[in-house]
């Protein structure tokens, strides 16, 4: 009997939203600053590695003279590679406040500020450090991350008005405050902190908190004065 197979379209209910958050030491209810990517990345990769290892020793004839021992340690937190551009025009995602150029400059300042704040903590003898948090609301991936290696921002002659980024971050641990499951139907409510419970857990992931960070009194306002 012949068989036929059909596909059924799925509505795009899950939000495509990516954010970086910076959390001060001992701060559980709010982030120090939040950056929302104005455009979805063109590429994002999660690369966990298997930490298992094996060794071969002499064994019986039934296993061809070799016995293999395996030490099983599971999967590491992933290495995250994110690439894309912030475009050129202003974006609805940040209230049409920043151009693409200003947005990439703000992102650079965000990462630089994270490094500066932690260096200040270490030099003052304070072991408590700021944490960098990456939230991928489309795949429900929420990680404490640390930048590793070159953090690339580049331009090209064929598209001189666009600035591209390529970041590589080592995930350190799952973001504990977002361990609750986010379903597709109510994901936007969780993102924007509409329910009181969600707002109490992490109110600064809202777009309002992002706009506070962009305001003249915000913690990253210095970059806005330079563009």
HSE-up (13 A, CA, CB side) for residue 105 = 14
Strand bridging mode 43-47 / 33-36: unpaired
Token representation of residue 164: 């591209």
Examine the pLDDT at 126 and tell me if it is beyond 60.
yes
Number of structural domains (the chain) is: 1
- 135 lies in a domain? yes
Higher pLDDT, 207 or 44: 44
pLDDT-derived band at 10, boundaries 50, 70, 90: low
- 6 lies in a domain? no
Work out the average pLDDT over 66-92. Answer: 90
Q: What's the domain range around 197?
A: 18-220
Higher pLDDT, 158 or 208: 158
- 180 lies in a domain? yes
What percentage of the chain carries pLDDT values higher than 70? 71
Examine the pLDDT at 110 and tell me if it is beyond 90.
yes
- 126 lies in a domain? yes
- 225 lies in a domain? no
Separation CA 221–CA 129 (nearest Å) = 22
The pLDDT value recorded for residue 28 is 67
- 7 lies in a domain? no
Q: Return contacts of 159-163, CB within 8 angstroms, 24+ apart.
A: 161/88, 162/85, 162/87, 162/88, 162/100, 163/85, 163/86, 163/100, 163/101, 163/104
Separation CA 204–CA 221 (nearest Å) = 17
**Strand blocks (E) in the chain:** 18-23, 33-36, 43-47, 53-58, 66-71, 79-85, 131-136, 141-147, 152-156, 159-174
- What global pTM score does this model have? 0.68
> By mean pLDDT, which of 75-79, 165-169, 177-181 is the weakest?
177-181
- 3 lies in a domain? no
- 89 lies in a domain? yes
The pLDDT value recorded for residue 219 is 44
* Distances in whole angstroms, Cα of residue 175 to Cα of each of 77, 103, 104, 138, 181: 12, 25, 25, 15, 12
Examine the pLDDT at 195 and tell me if it is beyond 50.
no
Work out the average pLDDT over 133-145. Answer: 92
């Amino acid at each position: 009997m012949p068989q036929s197979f059909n596909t059924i379209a799925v509505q795009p209910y899950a939000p495509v939203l990516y954010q970086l958050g910076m959390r001060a030491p001992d701060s559980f209810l709010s982030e120090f600053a939040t950056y929302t990517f104005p455009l979805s990345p063109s590429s994002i990769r999660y690369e966990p590695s298997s930490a298992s290892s094996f060794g071969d020793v002499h064994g019986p004839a039934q296993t061809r003279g070799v016995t293999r021992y395996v030490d099983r340690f599971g999967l590491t937190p992933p290495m995250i590679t994110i690439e894309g551009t912030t475009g050129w025009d202003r974006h609805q995602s940040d209230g049409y406040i920043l151009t693409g150029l200003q947005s990439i400059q703000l992102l650079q300042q965000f990462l630089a500020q994270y490094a500066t704040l932690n260096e200040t903590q270490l030099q003052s003898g304070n072991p408590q450090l700021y944490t960098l948090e990456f939230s991928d609301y489309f795949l429900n991936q929420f990680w404490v991350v640390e930048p590793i290696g070159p953090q690339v921002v580049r331009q090209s002659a064929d598209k001189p008005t666009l600035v591209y980024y390529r970041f590589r971050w080592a995930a350190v641990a799952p973001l504990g405050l977002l361990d609750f499951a986010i379903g597709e139907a109510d994901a936007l409510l969780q993102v924007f902190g509409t329910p009181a419970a969600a707002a109490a857990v992490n109110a600064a992931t809202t777009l309002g908190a992002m706009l506070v960070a962009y305001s003249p009194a915000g913690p990253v306002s210095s970059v806005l004065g330079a563009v």
